[in-house]
A and B are shown apart, each in its own frame.
Chain A
Amino acid sequence: MEKEKPFKLFVPPRLSSSQVSAVKPQTIGGDSNFFKGFNKCIEDDFGLPFGITKPSKHGENIDTDPVLQKVNFLPRIEEVGTNHSNFLEELKNPQFETSEPISRVYSKLYKEAEKIKKWKVNIEFELNQNEKKLQENRKIIEAQRKAIQELQFENEKVSLKLEDGIQENKELLKENNATRHLCNLLKETCAWSAEKSKKYEYEREETRQLYAGLNNNLEKMVQAFEELRVGAESCRQEMHFKLKEAYEKIQQLEKEHVKEVRDKEHKVSLLLMQIDEKELKIKDLKLLLQEYNDKINQFQEKMKWQNENLKESKDQQDHLMSELEEIKMSLQKSEISQKTLEEELQAAGKMIILLTREKEAQMEEISEAKITHSSVVAEFEATISTLKELLTTEQHRLEKNEEQLKTLILELQKKSSELEEEKLCKKNKELQLEEESKRTLEVNQKLLKEKKHFEMITEKLQATEIELNETLQIKEKEVHDLKVKFNTAVENEQNYLEQVAELKTELEQERLKSFELTVNFNKISLENKQIAQERITTIQESKKLQKDINDNKKQEEKMMKQIENLEETKNLLRDELDAVKEELKQKNEEVESKLNESEENARSIENEILKKDKQIKILENKFNSLKKQMENKTKSFEELQQENKALKKKSIAENKQLNAYEIKINKLELELDDANKRFEEMTDNYQKEIANKNILEENLLKEVEKAKTIADEAVKLQKEIDLRCQHKITEMVALMEKHKDQYDKIVEERDSELGLYKNKEQEQSMKKTSLEIEVSSLKSKLSSLETQLKIETEEKEKLLREAKENKDLLKERKDKKIQTSVSATSETSKWKFDSKKDASQNASLSVKSVDCGKSKDKEEYFWTPAKKSLSISSLKAYTVKTPTKMKMLQSEKRNPVKEGTIKKRKMLFEFDTNSDSSEHTDLLSMVSDEEQFQTLYKNYPKPSHPCVATPKMDHRPSSIATPGSALKFAAMRKMREDGWAAVSRVDRKKKMKEAEKLFT
Chain B
Amino acid sequence: PPNCLPPQLNIQNLLTNRWCLTKQIPTLAKSTFQATWMAYDMVVMRTNPALADSMRRLEDAFLNCKEEMEKNWQELLNETKPKQ
List residues of chain A with CB under 8 Å of any chain B CB: 2, 5, 9, 159, 162-163, 166, 169-170, 172-173, 176-177, 179-180, 183, 186-187, 190, 193-194, 197, 200-201, 204, 207-208, 211, 214-215, 218-219, 221-222, 225-226, 228-229, 232-233, 235-236, 239-240, 243-244, 247, 977, 981
CB distance from B13 to the nearest CB of A (A): 5
Q: List 17 A-B contacts (CB under 8 A).
A: A9-B1, A166-B2, A166-B3, A170-B5, A176-B13, A177-B13, A179-B21, A187-B24, A194-B34, A197-B34, A197-B38, A204-B42, A211-B51, A225-B61, A232-B65, A232-B69, A232-B72
Which residues of A have CB within 8 Å of B80? 240, 243-244, 247
Q: Which of A186, A219, A239 contacts B54 (CB 8 A)?
A: A219
CB distance from B4 to the nearest CB of A (A): 6
A875, B64: Cα distance in complex, Å: 119
Interface residues of B in 21-51 (CB under 8 A from A): 21, 24, 27-28, 31, 34-35, 38, 41-42, 45, 48, 50-51
A403, B49: Cα distance in complex, Å: 142
A169-B5, A193-B31, A221-B58 known; A176-B14 Cβ under 8 A: yes
Which residues of B have CB within 8 Å of A194? 27, 31, 34
Which residues of A have CB within 8 Å of B68? 228-229, 232-233, 236
Are A215 and B50 in touch, CB under 8 angstroms?
A: yes
Which residues of A have CB within 8 Å of B51? 211, 214-215, 218
Which residues of A have CB within 8 Å of B16? 180
Q: Which of B1, B24, B65, B75 contacts A186 (CB 8 A)?
A: B24
Are A204 and B45 in touch, CB under 8 angstroms?
A: yes
Report the 7 A-B pairs with minimum CB-CB distance, sorted nearest first. Answer: A225-B61, A183-B20, A218-B54, A232-B68, A193-B31, A229-B65, A197-B34
Q: Which of B2, B50, B55 contacts A163 (CB 8 A)?
A: B2
Which residues of A have CB within 8 Å of B20? 180, 183, 186-187
A244, B79: Cα distance in complex, Å: 10
A197-B31, A236-B68, A236-B71 known; A225-B62 Cβ under 8 A: yes
Are A243 and B61 in touch, CB under 8 angstroms?
A: no
Are A226 and B50 in touch, CB under 8 angstroms?
A: no
Minimum CB distance partner of A184 in chain B: B20
Are A243 and B76 in touch, CB under 8 angstroms?
A: yes
Minimum CB distance partner of A218 in chain B: B54
Q: Which of A2, A183, A243 contacts B4 (CB 8 A)?
A: A2
Which residues of B have CB within 8 Å of A201? 34, 38
Minimum CB distance partner of A246 in chain B: B80
A194, B33: Cα distance in complex, Å: 11
Q: Which of A179, A221, A235 contacts B61 (CB 8 A)?
A: A221
Which residues of B have CB within 8 Å of A176? 10, 13-14, 17
A197, B31: Cα distance in complex, Å: 8
A200, B5: Cα distance in complex, Å: 46
Which residues of B have CB within 8 Å of A183? 17, 20-21, 24
Supply 7 further A-B pairs (C-beta < 8 A) apart from A176-B10, A219-B54, A977-B1: A176-B14, A204-B42, A215-B54, A228-B65, A236-B68, A240-B76, A244-B80
Q: Which of A159, A218, A232, A233 contacts B55 (CB 8 A)?
A: A218
Are B45 and A208 in touch, CB under 8 angstroms?
A: yes
List residues of chain B with CB under 8 Å of any chain A CB: 1-5, 7, 10, 13-14, 16-17, 20-21, 24, 27-28, 31, 34-35, 38, 41-42, 45, 48, 50-51, 54-55, 57-58, 61-62, 64-65, 68-69, 71-72, 75-76, 79-80, 83
A330, B41: Cα distance in complex, Å: 131
Are B61 and A229 in touch, CB under 8 angstroms?
A: yes
Are B76 and A239 in touch, CB under 8 angstroms?
A: yes
Are A172 and B45 in touch, CB under 8 angstroms?
A: no
A218-B58, A235-B72 known; A197-B10 Cβ under 8 A: no
Which residues of A have CB within 8 Å of B72? 232, 235-236, 239
Are A204 and B41 in touch, CB under 8 angstroms?
A: yes
Q: Which of A2, A211, A226, A977 contacts B45 (CB 8 A)?
A: A211
- Greatest chain B CB density within 10 A among A159, A163, A225, A977 is at A225
Minimum CB distance partner of A250 in chain B: B84
Minimum CB distance partner of A243 in chain B: B80
CB distance from B45 to the nearest CB of A (A): 6
Are A229 and B13 in touch, CB under 8 angstroms?
A: no
Which residues of A have CB within 8 Å of B4? 2, 166, 169
Minimum CB distance partner of A210 in chain B: B45
A218-B58, A222-B61, A229-B68 known; A200-B76 Cβ under 8 A: no
A241, B42: Cα distance in complex, Å: 52
CB distance from B23 to the nearest CB of A (A): 9
Q: Which of B13, B27, B42, B76 contacts A236 (CB 8 A)?
A: B76
CB distance from A977 to the nearest CB of B (A): 6
Minimum CB distance partner of B18 in chain A: A179
CB distance from B48 to the nearest CB of A (A): 7
CB distance from A196 to the nearest CB of B (A): 9
A183, B15: Cα distance in complex, Å: 13
A2, B51: Cα distance in complex, Å: 66
Are B58 and A200 in touch, CB under 8 angstroms?
A: no
Q: Which of A5, A219, A236, A240 contacts B1 (CB 8 A)?
A: A5
A163, B58: Cα distance in complex, Å: 75
A232, B66: Cα distance in complex, Å: 10
A244, B77: Cα distance in complex, Å: 11
A5, B1: Cα distance in complex, Å: 8
Minimum CB distance partner of A226 in chain B: B61
CB distance from B46 to the nearest CB of A (A): 9
CB distance from A186 to the nearest CB of B (A): 5
Are A162 and B61 in touch, CB under 8 angstroms?
A: no
A163, B4: Cα distance in complex, Å: 9
Minimum CB distance partner of A191 in chain B: B27
Which residues of B have CB within 8 Å of A240? 76, 79-80
Which residues of A have CB within 8 Å of B42? 204
CB distance from B67 to the nearest CB of A (A): 9
A309, B69: Cα distance in complex, Å: 90
CB distance from A976 to the nearest CB of B (A): 11
CB distance from A654 to the nearest CB of B (A): 55
Are A211 and B61 in touch, CB under 8 angstroms?
A: no
Minimum CB distance partner of B14 in chain A: A176
A232, B67: Cα distance in complex, Å: 10
Q: Which of B7, B54, B69 contacts A2 (CB 8 A)?
A: B7
A194, B24: Cα distance in complex, Å: 12
A197, B30: Cα distance in complex, Å: 11
Which residues of B have CB within 8 Å of A159? 2
Which residues of B have CB within 8 Å of A222? 54, 57-58, 61
A2-B4, A166-B3, A236-B71 known; A190-B24 Cβ under 8 A: yes
Are B10 and A173 in touch, CB under 8 angstroms?
A: yes
Which residues of B have CB within 8 Å of A233? 68
CB distance from B76 to the nearest CB of A (A): 6
Which residues of B have CB within 8 Å of A244? 80
Which residues of B have CB within 8 Å of A235? 72
CB distance from B27 to the nearest CB of A (A): 5
A2-B7, A208-B45 known; A229-B64 Cβ under 8 A: yes
A977, B1: Cα distance in complex, Å: 7
CB distance from B6 to the nearest CB of A (A): 11
CB distance from B73 to the nearest CB of A (A): 8
CB distance from B9 to the nearest CB of A (A): 8
A200, B38: Cα distance in complex, Å: 8
CB distance from B47 to the nearest CB of A (A): 12
- Greatest chain B CB density within 10 A among A166, A187, A218, A226 is at A218
Are B54 and A190 in touch, CB under 8 angstroms?
A: no
Which residues of B have CB within 8 Å of A172? 10
Which residues of A have CB within 8 Å of B10? 169, 172-173, 176
Q: Which of B13, B31, B50, B71 contacts A180 (CB 8 A)?
A: B13
A441, B45: Cα distance in complex, Å: 129
CB distance from A300 to the nearest CB of B (A): 66
Which residues of B have CB within 8 Å of A9? 1
CB distance from A4 to the nearest CB of B (A): 11
Which residues of B have CB within 8 Å of A229? 61, 64-65, 68
Which residues of A have CB within 8 Å of B54? 214-215, 218-219, 222
